[in-house]
Amino acid sequence: MEEEKTTFPKIESVLIAGVVALLVFIGIIAAYPQGMKISSSHEVFFEGKNAFIAGESLISGKIKGICEMKNISFFNSSNVPRVEINGNEFTNVNVSIIAEEGEMDIDGILLSPPSFSLIMFNATEKKVYAMICKNISFNASTIAAMVKNASISINGITLKGNYTLILTGGFRSSIKAKQFSFPANGISISFKEGERDCGLIDKFLEETEIELPPIPFSIDGIFFAEKGNISVNGEHISSNFSIMRGEGDVFLRDGCSLHGNMRLLFINGEFYSEEKATILSFIPNKLLLFWPLAIGVWLVATFFEKKFGRKFEQYDKELGGIAFVIHLFFVITSFYLWDREINYLFGKSVIPALISSIKGNIAIQEWIIAPFEFIPWIIVIVLMAIPIRIILSSIFSYMGLETLGKGVGKGVGIFMSFFIGILYVSFFLTIIISPFIKGLIG
């Protein structure tokens, strides 16, 4: 009696597989809206002079000396024991000031709440220039201030014009100004990537009349410095200039000291990577294994397949639809996670740029990230995804599931290349793109 062949309902099985894949993909998006954040971070120590910091920052420290302010939207001091304004004296009052500009000689403690900030440190002047979304707060013992085109409210009295004020005693003040500069001696800054810049970056570019060229990374969470000495994971590097993205603590005195954990490092025109390539200069040592292993598995599987394999060959062709669903699921999931990881590294990625373009906001500065995202992805597909596909396809083919094996092999290969390949993004960018960047910057 001939053995009855079991068949699978093609349409139903493909639909079920598609629904399951969709639900799993939605679950992955819900679980990892910002990605898995598996990229390596580097412990960095830096000693140098001038620096620029952007991101959510907590500024603190003793502040003593001359501070300058522009476009003061409010300057409030509460419970001031003694105030002298143009020869008139007040006691135990609250002072509120709006002014076009001003400067003050202050002795106090700066305790600014966490806020998105753009901070420039000038080592020659030993001053900090800051643009901050929220107000700046400090406890002061003495403030001697001069304000221009001001409106001052004190004890129900409103004064308008240019005034000199002297505030003495222990009191708390808050200032909101378009630009605020103060002495840097002993100031500490803790910074990280922020969520909203309150339009501060556009205001800064407008104020300074700087035309920012298209760059592949967001300046949110950036530390930029000129000449200095850097230690990355214990490796000492002399730097002509460096750009870092991550989080860290900065201490300002005669110079700038940084201790941070950075996920992206661009030093002297190259992306920093710990990975080495001693056999082939363009392939990391750890990735050389995949192709020889794939060829070996294919040879062994092909040899044994002719003698012992193909046990499930009768079911294989009916699994073509499921194989396609599996392949498509892994490709889409892998690209989503890869894009989120690139966004974690650079602050920019292709999917947000695509969404912005669909909404009608097409900007070259958003799409400049595309080669930085796709070039490493294509390379890891060639070096990893294809060999993994060959390995899995060979094993499935040995069992007679060649069609299913191709779908699973392609999908799993690309998916696995995400987890391993994302660790080599900086390496491949240094090999492929850094030479062009060096040519542009000279």
Residues 6+ apart with CB under 8 A from 94: 76, 77, 78, 79, 80, 154
Q: Which residues of the chain have pLDDT under 70?
A: 1-10, 208-214, 277-282, 305-320, 400, 402, 405, 434-442
CA distance 184 to 49: 12
Q: Check residue 177 and report its DSSP letter.
A: E
CA distance 245 to 264: 5
At residue 329, φ and ψ (nearest 5 deg) are -60, -50
CB 49 within 8 A of CB 240: no
Helix/strand/coil for 96: strand
Q: Helix axis angle, 290-308 relative to 386-398, nearest 10°? A: 10
CA distance 171 to 273: 50
CB 221 within 8 A of CB 191: yes
Q: Residue for token digits 């599931």?
A: 401
DSSP 42-93: EEEEEEES-EEEEEEEEEEEEEEEEEEEEEEEEEEEEEEEEEEETTEEEEEE
H or E segment to which residue 271 belongs: strand 270-271
Q: How confident is the model at residue 46, as a pLDDT?
A: 94
Could you read off the pLDDT of 396-420 as tens digits, one per residue?
Answer: 777 767 677 677 778 888 888 888 8
Q: How confident is the model at residue 1, as a pLDDT?
A: 40
CB 414 within 8 A of CB 427: no
Residues 6+ apart with CB under 8 A from 3: none
CA distance 332 to 275: 28
H or E segment to which residue 102 belongs: strand 88-111
CA distance 223 to 244: 5
CA distance 439 to 220: 26
CB 351 within 8 A of CB 336: yes
**Beta bridge partners of residue 65, listed in sequence order:** 106
Domain boundaries, the chain: 10-39+274-441, 43-271
370: number of Cβ within 10 Å: 15
CA distance 376 to 370: 11
CB 418 within 8 A of CB 324: no
Residues 6+ apart with CB under 8 A from 60: 109, 110, 111, 112, 187, 188, 189
Q: How confident is the model at residue 223, as a pLDDT?
A: 94
